[in-house]
Amino acid sequence: VLLAAHKLAPAIACGATMVLKAPPQDPLATLLLGDIIRESGYPAGALSILLCTNEAAAPLIDDPRVRMITFTGSARAGWAIRRRAFTKRVTLELGGNAAVMIEPDADLDHAVKRSVAGGYLYAGQSCISTQRILVHQSLYSRFTERFVPAVAALRTGDPMAETTDVGPMIDQASAERAAEWIAEAVAAGAKVAAGGGRKGAMLEPTVLLDTTGGMRVNCEEIFAPVTTVRPYAGFDEAVAAVNDSPYGIQAGLFTNDMRTILRAFERIEVGGLVINDVPGFRVDHAPYGGVKESGQGREGVRYAIEEMTELKLLVLGET
């Protein structure tokens, strides 16, 4: 619902007619959102909700009556839409494998607490979920000594239960894929420091150590309750590791050094850099979007309105 709302609210502000393709995994929530918009007094027929396959909806990309497309999903699907849409305006919010850097002056307890939240909220199923954690070597042992037990203590179960910290993944196939990537990393030399087990769609919150940048758990989007933790010797090495990714939505940096912050802001290839918090930080009035394969354009109400409208110039000459 939230992903759709990020698009519908600015479109309503523009007075647009909208066609919303509901995700097959959760059509009922989309229909409920449609009811709310209808009851608010938005003109009848100005919002249509499609309950169909992606293939059935695809001809809308070619329809000349559709002037703008905004899509959230996989990089492969998003860039295919961009190529097919030709001259239409297109905004893409796609994949990510967000990284966190923890510098020597960081508040370690705070960094641990926020990294646990950032990596395992929504069972890691967010494009700005913390996936890669890079810790300065002077803090690495102390960080893992606190982070690993904190992750191991997370409780899995029914997401409707107040005692549950991490719920199941969207389906069993997604959990199986993530488990395969974990096994692949272990076979290549990684160590499972916490979790790693799977039962149906429930994947235990997992921490991997001794990974390399070329492993899929680092270089691709795992979209699961899995984080990797790696040490680094210096700032340049850490920035290179963060940028060693086809994605770039947001990154986190734990430090209180303003010079380090400005250097990181200039050099890290992301749409947003979050200081002393995790990449999952997002507020609706801020510009939000990625670079590289993570997409194009920006969301956030004002910025989405700019994406959905054409800037037009009127010049009045003297007579």
What amino acid positions are annotated as catalytic residues? Answer: 93, 127
Look at residue 47 and give its three-state secondary structure. Answer: strand
Question: What residues does 19 pair with on adjacent strands?
Answer: 48
In angstroms, rounded to a whole number, what is the distance separating the alpha carbons of residues 263 and 104? 16
Strands 99-102 and 132-136: parallel
In angstroms, rounded to a whole number, what is the distance separating the alpha carbons of residues 187 and 208? 12
In angstroms, rounded to a whole number, what is the distance separating the alpha carbons of residues 293 and 129? 16
Strands (E), the chain: 18-21, 47-50, 68-72, 89-93, 99-102, 132-136, 191-194, 198-199, 202-203, 206-209, 226-232, 250-254, 272-275, 295-296
Q: Name, in order, each residue with C-beta under 8 angstroms of 182's C-beta and a sequence gap of 6 or more.
A: 192, 196, 206, 208, 217, 226
